[in-house]
Amino acid sequence: MAHSYAYLDKEKILHLHPLEDEAVKHGKYVGTNLDYDESGFPVIGGEGVIYYADKDTAYVNGNEDNGKQIAVPSGLKALAGQLL
């Protein structure tokens, strides 16, 4: 059973939600065992990661405007690949 449900928002940003009923509202979604932060972003290495699937870029401590860019975690890329 999935721990959370992943989906891409209209900006192609990856989000996780604990309720399948909420994830389905965004179209295509998949179940995952990834943890998520209070904003619904996946947690990798103890930090919430904002992943832009269409740009294949990831950030911690903020978004593309004010966060620190990191190497894209392979698990997030694979997850988003199922949603594109």
Confidence (pLDDT) at 2: 59
Q: What band does 21 get if pLDDT is binned at 50, 70 and 90? A: very high
Rg (CA), the chain: 12
Q: What digits encode the pLDDT tens for the residues 29-59?
A: 999 999 999 999 999 999 999 999 999 999 9
Terminal CA-to-CA distance of the chain, rounded, Å?
22
What is the pTM assigned to this prediction? 0.92
